[in-house]
């Protein structure tokens, strides 16, 4: 698997505004056939043919090949903001590389985020307070702390390619962050209105229809004893193309 993206920056904040994973074809020796960024761009010119679907996550923590997430990309000398580049692996990409294989080879999957701010461990931090405040101002002419166009999804104008949208955005939102909760629910509802097949992991707290209504989508990533349970459920979801909804327990 390879992963590519475009980073953008504004006021010293760095955002991953485009992100795709490519599930490589195999050669005769069962080795991955790598593609270049130029070949990726050629695939993206025919998105309807080459993009299998979308995975929606909370926010990114990833860096271009050769760099890391321990400090800002600018501090590491990165200058290719606004340009497509190949990325290194992260916890999420490690899981995807193990789970998304047969049935998806030669295809792209787009990765979208509730928040594209490329920062580790933003939950729970004062950053979310700022996001919540920003979303309260989102439809007004007021300034926001984080870039309106770069950090947030304009859910009424979202577009998707492929057959499915897998939501792994998480299920636990601070009840005080009312704007974030509304934002997540609006994205879920709008995706359904666009006629896309919504796929996710869930448990016994809600039924499938309720999960979509309240944006209750378990993250495929966890710690402790839930790590393998969530990871295996994600793998089961992607045993087919398109993937299927999975209930835990």
* pLDDT at residue 215, rounded to an integer: 95
Helix (H, G, I), strand (E, B), or coil: what is residue 3?
strand
* pLDDT at residue 4, rounded to an integer: 98
The region, left, alpha or beta by phi > 0 then psi within -120 to 50, assigned to residue 226 is alpha
* pLDDT at residue 206, rounded to an integer: 95
* pLDDT at residue 21, rounded to an integer: 98
Query: Which pairing describes strands 108-113 and 84-86: parallel, antiparallel, or unpaired?
Result: unpaired
Helix (H, G, I), strand (E, B), or coil: what is residue 77?
coil
* pLDDT at residue 249, rounded to an integer: 81
Neighbouring C-beta atoms of residue 10, cutoff 10 Å: 14
Distance CA(207)–CA(36), nearest Å, equals: 43
Query: Which pairing describes strands 2-10 and 84-86: parallel, antiparallel, or unpaired?
Result: antiparallel
Query: How many whole angstroms from its chain centre is CA 96?
Result: 11
Return the ∠ at Cα 118 (arms to 114 and 121), rounded to 5°: 85
Cβ atoms of 150 and 12 closer than 8 Å: no
Give per-10-residue mean pLDDT for the chain (249 aa): 97 96 95 97 97 98 97 97 97 94 96 97 92 95 94 96 97 94 96 94 95 95 94 97 95
Q: Is the dihedral of CA 95, 99, 102, 103 positive or negative?
A: negative
Cβ atoms of 152 and 115 closer than 8 Å: yes
Question: How many Cα neighbours within 13 Å face the side chain of 32?
Answer: 13
Distance CA(249)–CA(211), nearest Å, equals: 16
Check: pTM over 0.95? Answer yes or no: yes
Instruction: Look at residues 75, 166, 50 and name the one whose alpha carbon lies nearest to residue 113.
Output: 166
Distance CA(42)–CA(73), nearest Å, equals: 27
Place of tokens 């990833």: 62
Q: Is the dihedral of CA 184, 191, 102, 109 positive or negative?
A: negative
Supply 53's token pair. Answer: 């679907």
Map out the domains of the chain as residue ranges. 2-247
- For the CA atoms of 244, 156, 185, 195, what is the dihedral angle to 10 degrees? -30
């Amino acid at each position: 698997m390879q992963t590519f993206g475009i980073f953008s920056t504004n006021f010293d904040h760095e955002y991953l505004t485009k992100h795709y994973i490519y599930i490589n074809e195999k050669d005769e020796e069962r080795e991955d056939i790598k593609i270049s960024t130029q070949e990726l761009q050629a695939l993206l010119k025919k998105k309807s043919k080459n993009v299998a679907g979308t995975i929606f996550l909370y926010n990114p923590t990833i860096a271009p090949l050769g760099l890391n997430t321990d400090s800002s990309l600018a501090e590491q000398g990165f200058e290719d903001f606004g340009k497509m580049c190949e990325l290194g692996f992260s916890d999420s990409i490690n899981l995807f590389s193990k789970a998304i294989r047969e049935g998806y080879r030669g295809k792209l999957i787009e990765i979208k985020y509730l928040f594209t701010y490329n920062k580790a461990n933003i939950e729970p931090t004062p950053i979310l307070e700022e996001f919540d405040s920003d979303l309260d101002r989102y439809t007004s002419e007021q300034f926001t702390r984080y870039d309106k166009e770069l950090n947030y999804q304009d859910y009424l104008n979202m577009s998707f390619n492929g057959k499915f949208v897998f939501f792994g955005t998480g299920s636990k939102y601070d009840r005080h962050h009312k704007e974030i909760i509304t934002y997540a629910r609006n994205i879920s509802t709008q995706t359904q209105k666009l006629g896309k097949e919504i796929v996710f992991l869930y448990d016994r707290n809600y039924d499938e229809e309720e999960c979509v209504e309240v944006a209750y989508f378990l993250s495929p990533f966890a710690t402790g004893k839930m790590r393998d349970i969530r990871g295996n459920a994600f793998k089961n979801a992607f045993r087919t193309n398109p993937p299927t909804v999975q209930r835990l327990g």
